[in-house]
Structure 1
């Protein structure tokens, strides 16, 4: 039996790393518009953490259709490990590695794209009544992606 609560713990960790990343990038941003964008995104990631806590509190064990036992859990774990803030990546140290606003925006764009992929997978783990919350999170992440892309285009 697959436990959706485990995936919500992954999702929460992703949002925590995203929040830490945006806070770190806001502190080191050179352009005021980029700084303000990163500050707002950090706040929104904080709200997403609360949203995932709420979803996790309602989560029940779920048996998703799989080709082999553990397939879906392995898929979600692979998404986390290989894309959305790998385990060895620490958002707080990124300002030393990312030295320009353009690099920060490109990294943030990749983060949001990876998060969208992961959160899309979450929709298969919640009840129909809870998919609305996941849809709203996906909408917000898409908006983040668009805003970051726009900021990059204006650099």
Structure 2
């Protein structure tokens, strides 16, 4: 396999995504008027914090990142950068949206769902790039993100 990004670059990106997710959920909790909504978003903020710590530990354990077999390094790099650039958490000023008062609980849940879906997609690619010994840990994070997506979705149905 060809060498790709350094491990620290990719894992730092995962940490940054989790930090931004935590900031979003804390903002949503702070702006929530309903105590149940505040508790709901605080839970997700804590989950993002746990994931950041997980990736911080991974950063210290792994050496290099490799592209999946059969991939062209330049094309794959463009693909991963497109995933990063299009990740919802990097493309909208949620602080302004919350402060205008036009951002409902349902809006916040829908944004959180997009954030979780984008993260699942990016972590699925990350899993392909880390050493085999680390893949199970990334899969666990993906599973947790899937659970978050289901929980968020249930709030819209209830």
Q: State the TM-score, normalizing by the size of structure 2.
A: 0.87
How far apart are the structure 2 equivalents of 1:139 and 1:79?
19
How far apart are the structure 2 equivalents of 1:43 and 1:149?
19
Farther-moved stretch of structure 1 (114-123 vs 127-136): 127-136
Please report how far the alpha carbon of residue 6 of structure 1 lies from its aligned counterpart in structure 2 after TM superposition: 1.2
Residue correspondence of structure 1 range 51-90 to structure 2 within 5 A:
51-64=54-67, 65=69, 67-86=71-90, 88-90=91-93
Distance 1:7 1:34, change over 3 A: same
Number of aligned residue pairs: give it.
153
Please report how far the alpha carbon of residue 69 of structure 1 lies from its aligned counterpart in structure 2 after TM superposition: 3.0
Q: State the TM-score, normalizing by the size of structure 1.
A: 0.89
Q: SS of the counterpart of 2:89?
A: coil
Please report how far the alpha carbon of residue 57 of structure 1 lies from its aligned counterpart in structure 2 after TM superposition: 1.3
Distance 1:92 1:50, change over 3 A: farther
Distance 1:91 1:48, change over 3 A: farther
- Contact 2:65 2:131 (C-alpha < 8 Å) held by counterparts: no
- Contact 1:17 1:91 (C-alpha < 8 Å) held by counterparts: no
1:21 aligns with 2:24: yes
How far apart are the structure 2 equivalents of 1:61 and 1:70?
17
How far apart are the structure 1 equivalents of 2:53 and 2:97?
25
- Which runs of structure 1 show a deviation greater than 4 angstroms over 4 or more consecutive aligned residues? none
Residue in 2 that maps onto 1:120? 124
Q: SS of the counterpart of 2:36?
A: helix
Residue in 2 that maps onto 1:6? 9
Question: Over the residues paired in the alignment, what is the CA RMSD in angstroms?
Answer: 1.8
Residue in 2 that maps onto 1:137? 141
Deviations 1:12-31 (A, max 9, x none): 11111000000000111133
Farther-moved stretch of structure 1 (68-77 vs 91-100): 91-100
Decide which of 99, 106, 109 is 2:110's aligned counterpart. Answer: 106
